[in-house]
Amino acid sequence: MKGDPTHTKSIEAITALHEIYRKEGPQLTAQWLAAKATEEAEAARLKANPPPVKDLTVRFWTGKNVTLLPTGPFRTGYRRRL
């Protein structure tokens, strides 16, 4: 990367980050691996025991004068237009 090598504040910040990773790298890696294992275990649990399906209401109108319109931007389904 290009930049101004004489800009000492930027170099100090980068050097400090490298020092943090040198000191706490193994701990950060262990925490990341634990979080990944927990996430995979939760995904496996949900796959084995999916949550129950919520009740669903289906409305049906017959006739050729029925026009279907979306109910709203965040809802699914249709409503009857008279």
Instruction: Give the tens place of pLDDT for each residue, 17-70.
Output: 999 999 999 999 999 999 999 999 999 999 999 988 888 787 776 766 666 665
Top-confidence residue, 81 or 12? 12
Q: Which of 64, 65, 61, 62 is nearest to 79 (CA)?
A: 61
pLDDT value of position 67: 65
Q: Has this prediction a pTM greater than 0.85?
A: no
Our CA dihedral for 70, 71, 76, 81, rounded to 10 degrees, sits at: -60
Residue 81, pLDDT above cutoff 80:
no
Distances (CA, A) of 19 to 12, 26, 81: 10, 13, 67
Question: How far is 47 from 51, CA to CA, in rounded Å?
Answer: 9
